[in-house]
A and B are shown apart, each in its own frame.
Chain A
Amino acid sequence: MAVETKTVQPQEPAATRFWNWLTETQVWKSVFRHNRPDNDRNRVLVMLSNVFLHLHPVRIRKSGVKLRYTWCMGGLSFFLFLVLTFTGLLLMFYYRPTLEYAYTDIVGLREHVPLGIMREMHRWGAHAMVITVWLHMFRVFMTGSYKPPREFNWSVGVVMLVLTLLLSFTGYLLPWDQLAIWAITVGSNMARATPFLGYEGPGAALLAIGDVKLVHAGSDARFALLGGTFVGEGALLRFYVLHCVGLPLVIAVLMAVHFWRVRKDGGISGPM
């Protein structure tokens, strides 16, 4: 009689067994429409069936996944943008953009919210994003990635760079402290020197009907920016609306265009 030899299967670690069980449950399978990405077919499916991962292609140039080539700066810019959106949303719960409340709301945020680092994350994240966007542009230049067929995406990028700076600039005013209003005053004073459109700009004096000046302190480019002749209530509201709604919407749309184009232009650049 043949003796039944018992082969002892090596026990898999508990975590793996749990993972294997979890990914077979009905709930899991209803969320993720494919099996574990441990073979090529499923590696394709995971990229195609997930709306977030679907921003990526399925396969990509080897050089394109290397830090050496991308410095990861585009990705980090996007990640920081998401962090800023999230922390900004939380800050909006506490902050009212009026002369009466703006400053005290920030003080309150600092004193009454336990373990609050949302304001810090938002401020330092904004500084960091300005830097990562600059470095991203720097790397795109140094690898010559703006050359055909990626000219247009470079241009979209430049517009987003400007928007990033404007987002940072409009946010700078909101704490309504000395640092804020004077930085914005210095910055926005430039607008009154806009040629033709600023009341101290060259050519503005030409825009007059008889003796009536069309461009004066109450009607020029700076007035449009500040909603007044100085950095006051009007400016605070304008900057708030632009900062929280207007500019983020525009930059989000442009990011969609940017990412779409990265893929449509043939993925991360590389030598022909």
Chain B
Amino acid sequence: MQIIKDFFNYLADPRLFFLLSVAALVLLMWKREMFAGKAWGYGILAFLAVFLVFGAFDPNFLLIIAKPDNVPIVGLIFLIVFFTWYSLRQGVLNDRRIAAGLGPEEKEEADRVWVWPDLVYTELIALVLCSVVLIVWSIVLEAPLEQPASAAATPNPSKAPWYFLGLQEMLVYFDPWLAGVVLPSLIIVGLIAIPYIDTNEKGNGYYTIAERKAEIFLFLLGFVVLWCSLIVLGTFLRGPNWNFFGPFEYWDTHKLEALTNVDLSQYLWMRLLGTGMPEFWLVRESLGLLLVFAYTFVLPVVLAKTVFKGYYEKMGPARYYVGAFLFLMMMSLPAKMLLRWVFNLKYIVAIPEFFFNI
């Protein structure tokens, strides 16, 4: 027992957790023909269910998943896993039909049916089922109410509502002005921009993977891995002081984690050149500023001439640059994570004088 628990505690470490999620996504897209099989889909769900039941016997695990406000996230895990698999499966099935010259299944369902009774009855059933689920849920589980608000007693950990925990998790890697303001705004802008950037005419109104591989991979990376899985991480695996705790680990308030993170400028001036930090911030942070500038403004140009040449030609400059900018902003999170994990890098640019840390 303990060995299994230790194993999962180990796997859940943010580094492994994140890298494994990305690896799983890559594998899923790559070997989708295999994973589309029903045995895989139901197998994975069954594994999750068994894990949940197995875990529920552990007091620490139970404490987290049975917290009333965390129950929806347990549901979310199952739903996201199921629907990711399901839409992939439908895509694969359609791709087979398309390859055989049949066209997507939706094409055969182009004829019209009467809304009354075909749709209204479906809606009625959905509505009744939804009501039943909600009512049972409400009877079984009481809404939480803690002690009255008190400005003096800060709970530890202090967590935002669960749907923002992905953003709170970003605070580990970025300062609030980025994690809490700029990046969320870019997520909204980026989502709105999707239909205007994506010029692929195929895959409009039916499931397919083969005809839109890149789009689907990017969306799944953003939505399932960076958004949903970080919420799961932030909810279940972050305890007091936002320290990491494995699913079967006790949330010890006194757990200490060594903070050994170093800024890029410290690396440069103290460790590499050994001259001590320059006085003037512009000189001190010149390397970091240069790197950030290059990442944001030079890299898209370089990519347009090399790896993304095809996209650049297909999309035209305006769409390409907006898209590349948004893409790089999304990738800045995994990039910063890797830099943190590999080099203990704290800030690439650190100008606390102006609250300008990146």
Residues B148 and A205 in contact, CB atoms below 8 Å apart: no
Give the most central of A65, A68, A145: most B CB within 10 Å.
A65
Q: A123 — which chain B residues lie within 8 A by C-beta?
A: 143
Residues A178 and B153 in contact, CB atoms below 8 Å apart: yes
Within 8 A of B (CB), among A67-114: 67-69, 71-72, 75-76, 79-80, 83, 103, 106-107, 110
Q: A192 — which chain B residues lie within 8 A by C-beta?
A: 176
CB distance from A60 to the nearest CB of B (A): 5
Residues of A within 8 A of B (CB): 37, 40, 43, 46-47, 53, 56-69, 71-72, 75-76, 79-80, 83, 103, 106-107, 110, 117, 119-121, 123-125, 127-128, 130-131, 134-135, 137-139, 141-148, 150-151, 154-155, 158-159, 161-162, 165, 168-169, 172, 175-183, 185-187, 189-195, 198, 200-205, 230-232, 269-272
Residues B176 and A68 in contact, CB atoms below 8 Å apart: no
**8 A-B contacts (beta carbon < 8 Å):** A56-B119, A60-B115, A120-B141, A144-B205, A146-B195, A177-B148, A178-B147, A182-B154
Instruction: Report how many residues on chain B are interfacial, defined by Cβ distance under 8 Å.
Output: 91
Q: A271 — which chain B residues lie within 8 A by C-beta?
A: 103-104, 106-107, 110, 204-206
CB distance from B97 to the nearest CB of A (A): 11
Cα–Cα, bound, A185→B155 (Å):
11
Closest-by-CB residue of A relative to B127 is A79
B137-159 interface bits toward A, Cβ cutoff 8 Å, 1 = contact, 0 = none: 11101111111111101110011
CB distance from B176 to the nearest CB of A (A): 4
- Residue in contact with A121 in the complex, picked from B79, B135, B198, CB distance below 8 Å: B135
Residues A151 and B196 in contact, CB atoms below 8 Å apart: yes
Main secondary structure of the interface of A (DSSP, over half): helix
Cα–Cα, bound, A11→B72 (Å):
51
CB distance from B277 to the nearest CB of A (A): 20
Cα–Cα, bound, A110→B174 (Å):
41
Q: B205 — which chain A residues lie within 8 A by C-beta?
A: 143-145, 147, 269-272
Cα–Cα, bound, A212→B103 (Å):
68
Q: B159 — which chain A residues lie within 8 A by C-beta?
A: 182-183, 186
Closest-by-CB residue of A relative to B107 is A271
- Residue in contact with A131 in the complex, picked from B79, B113, B135, B356, CB distance below 8 Å: B79
- Residue in contact with B164 in the complex, picked from A107, A141, A154, A187, CB distance below 8 Å: A187
Return the 4 tightest CB-CB contacts between A and B, nearest first. Answer: A190-B180, A120-B138, A151-B195, A193-B176
Q: Taking the complex as formed, is B111 at the interface, i.e. its CB lies under 8 A from any CB of chain A?
A: yes
- Residue in contact with A138 in the complex, picked from B83, B109, B147, CB distance below 8 Å: B83
Q: Taking the complex as formed, is B182 at the interface, i.e. its CB lies under 8 A from any CB of chain A?
A: yes
CB distance from B72 to the nearest CB of A (A): 4
Closest-by-CB residue of B relative to A145 is B205
Q: Taking the complex as formed, is B177 at the interface, i.e. its CB lies under 8 A from any CB of chain A?
A: yes
Q: Taking the complex as formed, is B168 at the interface, i.e. its CB lies under 8 A from any CB of chain A?
A: yes
CB distance from A41 to the nearest CB of B (A): 11
Residues B201 and A60 in contact, CB atoms below 8 Å apart: no
Residues B146 and A65 in contact, CB atoms below 8 Å apart: no
Residues A178 and B112 in contact, CB atoms below 8 Å apart: no
- Residue in contact with B91 in the complex, picked from A142, A147, A183, CB distance below 8 Å: A142
CB distance from A8 to the nearest CB of B (A): 31
Q: A161 — which chain B residues lie within 8 A by C-beta?
A: 191
Residues A270 and B195 in contact, CB atoms below 8 Å apart: no
- Residue in contact with B114 in the complex, picked from A59, A150, A185, CB distance below 8 Å: A59
Q: Taking the complex as formed, is B33 at the interface, i.e. its CB lies under 8 A from any CB of chain A?
A: no
- Residue in contact with B115 in the complex, picked from A57, A182, A189, CB distance below 8 Å: A57
Closest-by-CB residue of A relative to B219 is A141
B30-47 interface bits toward A, Cβ cutoff 8 Å, 1 = contact, 0 = none: 000000000000000000
Q: B113 — which chain A residues lie within 8 A by C-beta?
A: 59-62, 65
Residues A147 and B203 in contact, CB atoms below 8 Å apart: yes
Cα–Cα, bound, A76→B130 (Å):
8
Residues A181 and B111 in contact, CB atoms below 8 Å apart: no
Residues A203 and B175 in contact, CB atoms below 8 Å apart: no
Q: A185 — which chain B residues lie within 8 A by C-beta?
A: 158
CB distance from A20 to the nearest CB of B (A): 18
Residues B208 and A270 in contact, CB atoms below 8 Å apart: no
Q: Taking the complex as formed, is B335 at the interface, i.e. its CB lies under 8 A from any CB of chain A?
A: no
Residues B192 and A158 in contact, CB atoms below 8 Å apart: yes
- Residue in contact with B207 in the complex, picked from A43, A137, A143, A162, CB distance below 8 Å: A143
Q: Taking the complex as formed, is B181 at the interface, i.e. its CB lies under 8 A from any CB of chain A?
A: yes
A124-B143 CB under 8 A given contacts A168-B163, A190-B181: yes
Closest-by-CB residue of B relative to A144 is B203
- Residue in contact with A61 in the complex, picked from B75, B109, B158, B356, CB distance below 8 Å: B109
